[in-house]
Amino acid sequence: MKELQERIIRDGKVLSASVLKVDAFLNHQVDPQLTMNIGKRFAELFADEKVTKVVTIEASGIHFALATSVALGVPFIYAKKKKAVTLTEEVYSAPVHSFTRQETYQISVSKQYLQAEDRVLIVDDFLATGAALVGLTQIVKDAGAHLVGIGAVIEKSFQEGRGLLEKEGIRIESLARIESMSPEHIHFIEPAATRV
Amino acid sequence: MKELQERIIRDGKVLSASVLKVDAFLNHQVDPQLTMNIGKRFAELFADEKVTKVVTIEASGIHFALATSVALGVPFIYAKKKKAVTLTEEVYSAPVHSFTRQETYQISVSKQYLQAEDRVLIVDDFLATGAALVGLTQIVKDAGAHLVGIGAVIEKSFQEGRGLLEKEGIRIESLARIESMSPEHIHFIEPAATRV
């Protein structure tokens, strides 16, 4: 997605070979129009998949899930990282290890909102190690629902996430795939012509 | 907001005299069209205020902030509950005590994204004890920005939040004000005719 790549180049900051800061427009301060365009793009890419639910994880996937679910006209669910006092019923849950925070936490989705008939599109801000996304796919599988694929806003293609998920046969669409980066330069993997 | 009140009556669940569960449509599974309508309503209510930034707190305020900022055509910021590894620069922060979780945490906003010239609208899902909203107003004040008001999706009017904030002279617009509730009945405070 050209608009997104240009914005990453303009306003993103590479802090190290693996840390890209996009909190000027994606995950702290947020550009609403770019976010809605990202949602539209995910909706286009998965238009033929008869998606019934968009699933993400709190917090930084939520606005992309809303944008996508507005474009698809279906509800979205955000997995919780802590058990809420109001989440009394049974939940599907999975462990996620955060490499940035060096901790493992449980994510959970109420069983009420994911059914075997659901066709699920997972979206998130980053695909890097894939830890959070593997947890979400586990939850979709536990619900017996059909996973149509994953939409990631930014992919760090030099990390292992895509490989892990593709091994499971999961379709992945990332709107900006970073092959390598340094404070001076960000190199994107260009999408195949048919998918621009 | 009639659509919201009707939805609360239809799909909300009162778990106790103070706990209302709305995770079927607002804060776990989310109705995207209702969310966008909520954002439009906040934008209408504060249309004359020349808002330059919408501010909320992760996680359950994020989708309402996006919807509001789409309608207003301005960026939004979500305060973080934990310091991110990528949040290296200076932050404005404030302590928030969560009564549901019985813990105190710090919320923070990067100084880069809030300026003295900003006219800020704070939005959040619930106004109850007001703890999170008092923390956010403190951050806006520390930035020297102008707070035009607070938009709350649901207000538990029987809790102390509104009183605390009104004492500071802050304008509050809640789209559903609950005066009292029980598993059998939810009683709303009807808005003044001019504000319907």
Each residue's pLDDT tens digit, B103-124: 898 999 999 999 999 999 999 9
Q: How far apart are CA B138 and CA B38, in angstroms?
A: 25
Classify residue A71 as left (phi > 0), alpha (psi -120 to 50) or beta: alpha
Q: How far apart are CA B189 and CA B180, in angstroms?
A: 9
Residue B71 has pLDDT above 60, yes or no: yes
Token pair, residue B121, equals 């609208």
pLDDT at position A190 is 83
Residue A5 lies in a domain: no
CB A57 within 8 A of CB A79: yes
Q: What domain range is A77 assigned to?
A: 35-179
**Could you tell me if B85 lies within 8 Å of chain A, comparing CB atoms?**
yes
pLDDT at position A102 is 84
Residue A80 lies in a domain: yes
CB A56 within 8 A of CB A69: no
Percent of residues, chain B, with pLDDT higher than 90: 86
Chain B residues within 8 A of A15 when measuring between CB atoms: 86, 88
Section B30-52 average pLDDT: 98
Residue B26 lies in a domain: no
CB A142 within 8 A of CB A120: no
What is the pTM for the complete model shown?
Answer: 0.95
Question: Can you give the CATH number for the domain in which A156 is found?
Answer: 3.40.50.2020
- Looking from the CA of B58 toward its CB, the CA atoms found within 13 Å total 28
Q: Give the model confidence (pLDDT) of B56-69 as tens digits.
A: 999 999 999 999 99
Tokens 């659901």 belong to residue? A118
pLDDT at position B103 is 86
Residue A6 lies in a domain: no
pLDDT at position B82 is 76
Q: Give the model confidence (pLDDT) of A8-64 as tens digits.
A: 999 999 999 899 999 999 999 999 999 999 999 999 999 999 999 999 999 999 999
Residue B7 lies in a domain: no
Chain A residues within 8 A of B63 when measuring between CB atoms: 62-63, 65-66
Return the residue in B16, B40, B78 with the most chain A beta carbons within 10 A, the one to mutate for interface testing: B78
Q: How far apart are CA A49 and CA A47, in angstroms?
A: 6
Residue A186 lies in a domain: no
Asked if B33 and A88 come within 8 Å (Cβ–Cβ), the reply is no
Residue A160 lies in a domain: yes
pLDDT at position B50 is 98
User: Considering CB atoms only, which of B15, B76, B86 is closest to A19?
Assistant: B86
**Minimum mean pLDDT among A39-48, B31-40, B51-60, B93-102: which range?**
B93-102
Token pair, residue B33, equals 């069209």
Chain B residues within 8 A of A100 when measuring between CB atoms: 84-85
Q: Which residues make Cβ contacts (< 8 Å) with residue A19, sequence separation at least 6?
A: B85, B86
Closest alpha carbon to B135 in B90, B76, B170, B95:
B95
Total number of domains in chain A? 1
Residue A173 lies in a domain: yes
CB B179 within 8 A of CB B189: yes
